Amino acid sequence: MTSQDIIPIVAFIYCVTNLASMGLELNLNEAMKSLRSYRLVTLTLVWSWIIGPAGAYLITKILSLSEVL
């Protein structure tokens, strides 16, 4: 295996373990308290589903990335 074969596997394992460690640090009561806040849930969804992708799209248009990377 070359390093280009290993990097995606290591990145995936890192993401999974990082998310798992953050999830294990969270109490169920804290999570439920956050989910009861309609304002927080709405802001989170707007940022993650609308503003984030729109910002990424604008950055790709402004920087005009090359076709072949």
Pair 18, 42 in one domain: no
Over residues 33-38, mean pLDDT = 89
Residue 23 pLDDT grade (very low, low, confident, very high; cuts 50, 70, 90): confident
Q: Which residues contact 2 (CB under 8 A, 6 or more apart)?
A: none
Which residue's structure tokens are 């920087």?
63
Q: Residue 41: its pLDDT value, please?
A: 92
Domain extent, residue 31, equals 1-36
Residue 36 burial by Cβ neighbours in a 10 Å radius (0-12, 13-18, 19+)? exposed
Question: Who has greater pLDDT, 68 or 17?
Answer: 17
Give tens-digit pLDDT for 40-61.
Answer: 999 999 999 999 999 999 998 8
Q: Residue 63: its pLDDT value, please?
A: 86
Pair 24, 42 in one domain: no
DSSP class of 26: S
Pair 32, 50 in one domain: no
Q: Residue 68: its pLDDT value, please?
A: 66
Pair 24, 43 in one domain: no
Q: Contact at 8 Å (CB) between 52 and 46? A: no
| Number of independent structural domains in the chain | 2
